[in-house]
Amino acid sequence: MLLTAQSVLAGLEKVACKDRWSLSLAAQKALSHPHRAADEAKAAEAAVQLQQRFERSCQWVEARQQQVVPVNIDAGLPIGEHAAVISEAITNNQVVILTGETGSGKTTQLPKICMQLGRGSRGLIGHTQPRRLAARAVASRIAEEMNVVLGTLVGCQVRFHDQVQESTQIKLMTDGILLAEIQRDRFLTHYDTLIIDEAHERSLNIDFLLGYIKKILPRRPDLKVIVTSATIDAERFSAHFDQAPVIEVSGRSYPVDVVYRPVGFDSDDDETSLNLPESIVAVAQEILELEAQGKTPQ
């Protein structure tokens, strides 16, 4: 039984993001330009082609849904306590602003939270970093946590280095890579989620991306955008995206001991200290003593 154009329009939520626009146009064209009786054969052929394209796209999405591996959010990180709130915000809003101090786990856990919500099956979860080294390091870390080989479910693309394939669902890249893709994919239809990380750096690439993404959001209602950083001006970014919700995640701190040198002590006169402060020499000696006893320095 052939699908009608109305059925295709009603089922657009099941197709890949990259096919949604073209299928919508084809279905709308069939409805607004009905064939005459003399063109019944042509109309039937067009209907068959439309159904085949719709079914291929649905099968592509189903195949990606089946390859998803179990995803666990690290409960030891501060962001783990807010995972439910973040998930709800992403589900109910097109844009979410997330502020999190260094060490909160936002960079490595956000893509996994998105995948738990089913994102990545209809398109890529794009995750940007300002620098190539950071993009590759984060990709390796996420792949390790998900127990997959880098370049399969989790991929990375930077200049002169591409580890992304058809089955990839989480794609780490630099801001420049995503900006360059706009030239051949105006509405970024290969992505169903975008995570713009380190947005506080305010480079030209990030400024262009944020401005362009806001422009295409009305044309991409299926696209989710998460803007995050450690020192982001949350209210300003929220206002830019029409009062998008802001979620704050605390960082993780460690105890620090403060040691003062004795008054009047001058290590420059002590040849054995190699001109190092006494506190550093004392710590080094303590480490050597612990290692000699077979203990691990803390």
Tens digits of residue pLDDT in 29-61: 877 766 555 567 777 788 888 888 999 999 999
User: Would you place residue 273 in the very low, low, confident or very high pLDDT band (cuts 50, 70, 90)?
Assistant: very low
User: Partners of 193 in the beta sheet?
Assistant: 125, 224
- As a whole-number percent, the residues of the chain with pLDDT over 70 amount to 88
The two beta strands, 161-163 and 154-158, are antiparallel
Rounded to 10°, the helix 17-32/40-66 angle is 160
pLDDT in tens, 115-133: 999 999 999 999 999 999 9
Distance of CA 142 to the CA centre of its chain: 11
Q: Is 152 exposed, middle or buried (0-12, 13-18, 19+ CB in 10 A)?
A: middle
CB 57 within 8 A of CB 19: yes
Please state which of the ranges 52-56, 99-103, 179-183, 284-288 shows the lowest mean pLDDT: 284-288
Write down the pLDDT at residue 102: 80
Mean pLDDT over each residue of the chain, to the nearest integer: 86
Using the predicted structure, report yes or no on whether residue 271 has a pLDDT greater than 50. Answer: no
- Cα separation, 18 vs 263, in Å, equals 69
Q: What is the mean pLDDT of residues 186-199?
A: 94
pLDDT, one tens digit per residue, over 137-164 is 999 999 999 999 999 999 999 998 999 9
Contact yes or no for 73/100 (Cβ under 8 A): no
Instruction: Please give the sequence-ordered ranges of beta strands (E in DSSP) within the chain, or none if there are none.
Output: 95-100, 124-129, 154-158, 161-163, 170-174, 191-196, 224-229, 246-249
CA gap 214, 292 in Å, rounded: 60
pTM for the complete prediction? Answer: 0.79
